Each structure stands twice: as C-alpha cells, then as structure tokens.
Amino acid sequence: MRTILYTIAVFIFLLSAGTTDKLTAQNARIKIDIDRTIGEVNPLIYGNFVEHLGRCVYGGIYDPDSPLSDENGFRKDVFEAVQGLNVSITRYPGGNFVSNYHWKDGVGPKEDRPSRMELAWNRLESNHFGTNEFMDYAKMMGTEPYFAVNMGTGTIEEAQQWVEYTNVKEGPYYAELRKQHGYPEPHNIKYWSLGNEMDGFWQMGHLNAEDYSKKAREAAKLMRLTDPTIKLIAAGSSNMRPGSNPMEWNRVILDELKDVVDYIALHMYVGNPDDNYYNFQSTPLVLEQRTHLVKGLIDEAMTRSNRGDRDPIYIAWDEYNIWYRWRSSETMSGTRALEERYNLEDALVIAGFLNAFIRNADIVKMANMAQLVNVIAPIFAEKDGMFKQTIYYPLQLFAQNVNGTSLDVFVDCDKYDTDRFFLGLGESQAQLEDVPYLDVSATYKENGEVFICVVNRHKDEAITTDIISQTGLFEGEFEVYEVNGPDVKAENDFGKTTVETVKKTNVKAGGAKITHSFPAHSFTMLKGTIKK
C-alpha cells in the first residue's frame, strides 16, 4: 500500500512539475544568434519620395509665400520634421508624374518656365520647383538624390541630356547650361530609375515588357556613356490586379536587362477598406513573399549574366505605404490629392514593412516610403503649422538606430490565420496561415550593440516574451522605446499627439536571457549589448 501511495505521490509531483514547465513555456520566445546572419543593412532602405503630386512639393516642402518658410521658400517647420527621419535617399520627381515630365521645363529663370497641364494627377504644374531647387533641398537634408527619367512620353536623348546637365562638370551644352543657371559644380546624381510603373495601363506611355526593355536598354546606354558611374534601376512590377501577370513582367525585364541595371524597383500599397485589423496587420508578409519571388527570378537571371565584378541586381522597394482612404476619383486629383490621415494600426503595418526589409537585407538594398509631406506622408502641413503622423514614429526609430548586420531570428509565439482579402484597391487577394502575433527583426554591430524590433500584432493582449542569446551574453541594460496608443484607431492631429515614441523603463540584462512583455497593438525597439 505504501508503495502504491509513494508512486501516486511521485506521479503527482512530476505532473505538477510538468505543469510548471508548461506554464513557463507559454512565454513566447525570441532567439538571437549573432553567428546566424542574413546580410548588411543598407542605409538606403530608409529613403523617401518627393513627387509633384497634390501638396507634396507646393504647400509641403516648398511654400515661398509662407511666413514659415526660409529665404529659398522651404518650410522651416517641415524641414525640421524631415531631419528627424534621417532620410538616406530621396526619389524625385515621380511617380506617375514623371511619365509626362520634361525636365527642361523646370530649369532656368522661374519667370521663363512654362506652366503645363499635369496629366497624371490633374493639376497645373508651374515648374517653379525643378531639378536645381530639389538639389538645394536634398543638400540641406543630407540625402542621396535619386532621379527618375521619363520613359513614357520622353525620349532616350532627353534622359541622356538630363545626366549631362546634372553630372558633367563642363564642356558640353547642357553642362554649360547648368553653370549658366548658377550651379558651377555638377550635382553628381548617382541613382537613376528608368521610368516608373511602365507595366501599368494607367501610365502615360505604357509599354509591354519587351518594348520597355528595348527602350530602357538604349536609354541606359546613352546615360552610361555620359556618366559611367551611375546606378540604374529598372521599373519592376506594379500592376497586381487580378488577371495581370506581374512576375512574368519581372522575369522578362530581368532577362533583357540583367547586364544593364543594378536594381529592380517594386511597389506596394496596402489598406484596410474592410476594417479587418488582423488581415491588415498581415500585409507586410505579402511584401516579403514578393521579395522572395523576385529574389528567385534575380538568382535565375544571374546564372546567365555577364556582369563581371559588378554586384548582382538588388531589389529597391522604391514605393511602399498604406493608401486606401483617398482613392476615389475626387481624392486622387487636384491640389489636395492623397491626403491620407494615419492611425496606430497603420503605424504597426509600417513597422512590419521595415522589419521585412531588415529580414531581407541580403537582397533589399533600397526602399522609399511614398511620400514625404502631405501626400500619403508621415508629415502633414497646413499654412499655419504641421504635425507628425503616427507612421512617422516607427520610421524615425528605424532610420535613426537600426543598422549593422541583420540576424536570422527564431520566433516562437502564437499565430493566427487570415480571411481571404484584398490587399488594397487595385491589388490582388491574399490569404495567409500561421501569421505570428510577434513580428521581429534584429541587427548586430561589431561593437556588440544589438537592436531588436518587435510588433505585437495582438489587438488585446500583451505577450510576455523570453529573449534568448544563443551566442554571447546580454549585459548592462536594454533601452526600451515603444510606439503605442489607447486603441488601434488612435490618430494624431494639429495640437494633438496621441501616438508617438515613448521611452519606457530600461530592462536589466545579464546572462543569456531577458524577459519583456510587449503590450497589445504596439511596436517596440530594444537597444542593448551582447558580449561575446
């Protein structure tokens, strides 16, 4: 009898011990191994975009009639906010706008510049802001300029002449013209895209893949003969509508231009028109899926390439953002087009996009949020002031901090499945399984500094998480920065900042594990040290 009672007691003890272990195991886990690396994070993933659209330029960065502007017409309050984003590269002047833009209209004395019908966004273009004004602003920002040439209504000769105007020091006609315009030194613009969204039927001068490749190849030839040092970006797929074949477009242009271009540009806009929070939060994973597909196409094209010692082709996500509220015919045209207002759930999606860029640092070497001010933008301005939208804050945290080597992070947490849903207007459908509530990226620097970026997608619950170092030990304290708000629909406005970055209490570190509870509907950046 005693033997039986002892056996029962031991069984109960073991069962109790197992239950305790199971409760402990319910904590989510993030495992970091500084020996498991993906690639170096290129600072150019923290880029932005300035297009002649709505009030991005006029009434945004440039407003010479405003008392808030400097002597060059640049809004000082807007510029201060722009500086906070540490914008590494800025794309200009479009966008759909560029497919009917002729750069010569925007140089020289402003009183001599012609006003034109702007056909992409249905507004009058004064051309008072052009190549040299943008370059003045870019130099103030400390950003790398990235120009797009007109591959729609423009000619390959026009593209070559623009490179001559901006990059050749002296001698030929357009270099001397720049000097006459008050710029004795060349602008030395390194990055040039060969058109914009040329696969889209909405694009002025739309081409099929074969015809676009022919025109792009010949434009590239003339541009590189003018300046052999430039980097060229091909217009990748943008038409994701049902019935389109975006990956076939990418395959053709990569095959035709594999020895010509340095990047392929991809675009993606998502939204939440059905007000389904969990579907919306999964959308960065679709961007990641497309990244993997195009990476495979690049790898296949590189097997037949003759690039010599040049780098392989990389991916530039040179348009990405949330855009679905201002998509009607009325809100997509005119001087106040695309003035999207953002909330907390939008900010979490932006953090998810940035996590995806970090997790694919080996192939994604450039990204440009569209756009900088007023037009689907992190900064919103009116005549008497401005405010920072919710999406400003995750972008700021990443751009000011997250660099180094991307780590291959292991994440163990609860997951959910989505419904079948449209990613956004003009987009395809998606349905995802096993979407992790925790979306994670991490980077490591040789000085031991580590950044861990975590989106808790769960709308209602905090997730307590063990963060484990597989190689080396945590030491000191981890700084904690959190972007959150009272609910997922919380917005900012003039005089009201509901969503922003808040520095939380540091987490003490020591050993191979720290534990942190990530609040519901939040983005958190942890900054600390791993000692080998």
User: How confident is the chain (532 residues) per 10-residue block, as mean pLDDT?
Assistant: 42 39 64 98 98 98 97 98 98 98 98 97 97 98 98 98 98 98 98 97 97 98 98 96 93 98 97 96 98 98 91 97 91 94 98 98 98 98 97 98 98 97 84 98 97 98 98 96 98 98 96 97 98 90
Please list the residue range(s) of the chain that carry CATH number 2.60.40.1180. Answer: 26-38+407-531
Using alpha carbons only, how large is the chain's radius of gyration in Å? 25
Q: Could you please state the CATH topology (level 3) that the domain comprising 42-403 is classified under.
A: TIM Barrel (3.20.20)
Q: Could you tell me if 497 and 388 are in contact, meaning their C-beta atoms sit under 8 angstroms apart?
A: yes
Alpha carbons 527 and 401: distance in angstroms, whole number: 9
Rounded to two decimals, the pTM is 0.94
Q: Could you tell me if 393 and 351 are in contact, meaning their C-beta atoms sit under 8 angstroms apart?
A: no
Q: Could you please state the CATH topology (level 3) that the domain comprising 26-38+407-531 is classified under.
A: Immunoglobulin-like (2.60.40)
Q: Could you tell me if 417 and 434 are in contact, meaning their C-beta atoms sit under 8 angstroms apart?
A: yes
Q: Given phi > 0 = left and psi -120 to 50 = alpha, else beta, which region is 293? A: alpha
Alpha carbons 440 and 18: distance in angstroms, whole number: 29
Please list the residue range(s) of the chain that carry CATH number 3.20.20.80. Answer: 42-403
Q: What is the largest CA-CA distance in the chain?
A: 107
> Catalytic site residues?
197, 319
Q: Could you tell me if 222 and 167 are in contact, meaning their C-beta atoms sit under 8 angstroms apart?
A: no
* Long-range pairs of 310-313 with CB within 8 A, sequence gap ≥ 24: 310/262, 311/262, 313/254, 313/258, 313/261, 313/262, 313/263, 313/264
In this structure, the number of other CB atoms found within 10 A of the CB of residue 415 comes to 14
Alpha carbons 265 and 315: distance in angstroms, whole number: 6
pLDDT at 26: 67
From residue 209, alpha-carbon distances to 57, 199, 203, 235, 455 in Å are 31, 7, 13, 10, 38
pLDDT at 532: 87
pLDDT at 42: 98
